[in-house]
Structure 1
Amino acid sequence: MRASRLMSILLLLQTRGRMTAGELADRLEVSVRTIYRDVESLHAAGIPLYGDAGPRGGYRLLDGYRTKLTGLTTEEAESLPLAGLPGPAAELGLGAVVTAAQLKLMAALPVELRDRAGRIRERFHLDAPGWYRDREPVTHLPAVAEAVWNERPVRVRYRRWRAPQEVERRLEPYGLVVKAGSWYLVARCDEQVRTYRVSQILDLHPLPGRFARPAGFDLAAHWQAYLVEFEARLRRGEAVLRLSPGGLERLPGLMTPGVAAAARESAEPEADGWTRVRVPIESVEHATGEFLRLGADAEVISPPELRERLLAVAERMVGLYRAG
């Protein structure tokens, strides 16, 4: 662990130039006293490292010195696809590995390319989870990831939305997907490839032996096909509604891409400036909540039961406000 930290100090100074003991301590999550001891060890090893006193002081390497210890370990090379996803990498237990890999890559770049890479990091940041939500607890994520990586079957106790809510399944894990901050497991179960939300796994037990992962299985392609099929299966009904210009503009931000695309393709402008559209719906109950978000910018024409349900909700709301 200490050898890794000494190397990290060298790589940080090589890529960033002068850094204070406090900055190094914050970056490596150790005390300033630990940094002082590490610097003494580097001096003793003959590393041309020196410090400047004063407000503009700090440690730096002798001009022209470059460490050759920049080779990636197997674990660091495997973690590179997660380099832009610090949150998910940390949840997988790979946060420190990804950081080390990034440092080594930066140190290996010529100065001009290193500067450009640094500008990108300073100006762009990816925050995957959606607004107004906490990260889901993913207690079993490391065990799931290990099973995916080593092609080991597992037995899980899983909570699903329909009855019976708790079920036991034997799974052959093919891959993990993180979408909007939530982790999903793509696994084979009962001769079918299915999707499971990792936060809904209640218990997990590794099973002996290994399974044969299908040759050529493309996780990204499978996930895209699953999303298309999921929305088509979920939304089997249809609603006709009129949208004001404001409602038409707000629709893509409030509904799923499939609903927004259907509205766009079926749009029929009307004389009063409103637009008639046809959109898929999951159910009358679900559509009621979705269309209420549009407020008075939407009028449902059909199905009649959806129109009546919205009217009943609106009347109850009026009654509440008038009573107050």
Structure 2
Amino acid sequence: MRASRLLSTLLLLQTRGRMTAAELAEALEVSVRTVYRDMDALHAAGIPLYADAGHRGGYQLLDGYRTRLTGLSQEEAEALFLSGAPGPAAELGLGSVLAAAQLKVRAALPPALRDQAGRIQARFHLDAPGWYADADPVPFLPEVAQAVWNGRVLRLRYRRWKEPTEVDRRLEPYGLVLKAGRWYVVAAPGPRAYRVDQILELRLLEEEFTVPGDFDLAGFWQAYQEQFHSWLHTADAVVRVSPLGAARLTGAAARALRACGEPQPDGWTRAVLPIESMDHACREFLALGPEIEVVEPAELRERMAATARAIAALHAD
């Protein structure tokens, strides 16, 4: 445990530069006293680090010192090669870069871990996009990624769902997110999320910007998803679902069924499910055929019945 923590300390100092004992303690989730003991141990082992006293001081490695990747555990090596997604990297124009980086890491690994990493790549393949949908072309993704990386402003024409459907935008791109095979750029003003495949025209400006120091891309995306779902589900429907219908429910409906479903004597389950709209709910529930019964609201129940009668009439002899 301590050996792993000492290696983590070295890597933190190598990647972040000078760090105080308090910063190291927070990153490693240990006490400041433990950091002091670890630093004494590293110094005794001959690691070239020094400490500066004072308010702006901290621990720092001697310039030019680099540790080698000899402290990876088997699980860490497996996770490293499992996380390399060639599809998204290629879309960003980094396919060859990813391959070169993995080759360098593999060369630095001990033989046992090198063989294990090779087996991981041979046994697992990551394919992010879902079924039944063609991948959306994202011709401007490399330019957007370049703007994100270099802090450059974008001028673009964007297609959205409401009128006017085509709008011009000046964006300061803070980051890129890959969600279910679809790329989004998170950009100011706002910030807001934009689908990269809906960019119609794009121009990379010479103007530069700085991402706010307190901006957290992962935190923003989590909040954005929660807000999106709150917009999406505007009403509820009381339903009865058969075991087969319950198995075919997905997403928020499946989660609601698991959370509040009440088993019925006939083997079905009664539950309150979130819905987007009457039209959308009717289409979704009709896909389950006779495996679901809408109890409330009355408008949705009547619409389901009317649609079922129309289908029956259309297929009658």
The TM-score, its normalising length taken from structure 2, stands at: 0.72
Q: Is the 8 A contact 1:156 1:201 kept in 2?
A: yes
**Distance (whole Å) between structure 1 residues aligned to residue 202 and residue 81 of structure 2:** 26
Q: Alpha carbon RMSD of aligned pairs, Å?
A: 1.9
**Distance (whole Å) between structure 1 residues aligned to residue 287 and residue 220 of structure 2:** 32
Aligned to 2:126: 126
**Distance (whole Å) between structure 1 residues aligned to residue 185 and residue 103 of structure 2:** 30
Q: CA deviation at 1:249?
A: 2.2
Aligned to 2:30: none
Aligned to 1:280: 274
Matched, 1:167 2:167: yes
Aligned to 2:307: 313
Q: CA deviation at 1:178?
A: 0.9
Which amino acid letter does the alignment assign opposite residue 206 of structure 1?
L
- Please list the CA deviations of residues 42-78 of structure 1 after superposition, one character each: whole Å capped at 9, or x if unmatched: xxxxxxxxxxxxxxxxxxxxxxxxxxxx99xxxxxxx
Aligned to 1:33: none
Matched, 1:223 2:221: yes
Which amino acid letter does the alignment assign opposite residue 153 of structure 1?
V
Q: CA deviation at 1:81?
A: 9.9
Q: How does 1:75-94 map to 2 (within 5 A)?
A: 84-94=84-94
Aligned to 2:114: 114
Q: Is the 8 A contact 1:82 1:89 kept in 2?
A: no
Helix, strand or coil: the match of 2:207?
A: coil
Gaps of 5+ in 1: 1-69, 72-79
Q: Is the 8 A contact 2:246 2:254 kept in 1?
A: no
**Distance (whole Å) between structure 2 residues aligned to residue 228 and residue 142 of structure 1:** 28
Q: Is the 8 A contact 1:83 1:102 kept in 2?
A: no
Aligned to 1:259: 253
Q: CA deviation at 1:216?
A: 3.3
Which amino acid letter does the alignment assign opposite residue 149 of structure 1?
W
**Distance (whole Å) between structure 2 residues aligned to residue 164 and residue 312 of structure 1:** 35
Aligned to 1:205: 203
Q: CA deviation at 1:83?
A: 5.7
In structure 2, do the counterparts of structure 1 residues 250 and 272 end up closer, same or farther at CA, with 3 Å as the change threshold? Answer: same
**Distance (whole Å) between structure 2 residues aligned to residue 83 and residue 106 of structure 1:** 14
Aligned to 1:235: 233
The one of 248, 251, 257 equivalent to 1:250 is: 248
Q: CA deviation at 1:106?
A: 0.9
**Distance (whole Å) between structure 1 residues aligned to residue 135 and residue 259 of structure 2:** 35
Helix, strand or coil: the match of 1:239?
A: strand
Q: CA deviation at 1:276?
A: 0.8
Gaps of 5+ in 2: 1-67, 70-79
**Distance (whole Å) between structure 1 residues aligned to residue 191 and residue 284 of structure 2:** 30
Which amino acid letter does the alignment assign opposite residue 89 of structure 1?
A
**Distance (whole Å) between structure 2 residues aligned to residue 82 and residue 210 of structure 1:** 35
The TM-score, its normalising length taken from structure 1, stands at: 0.70
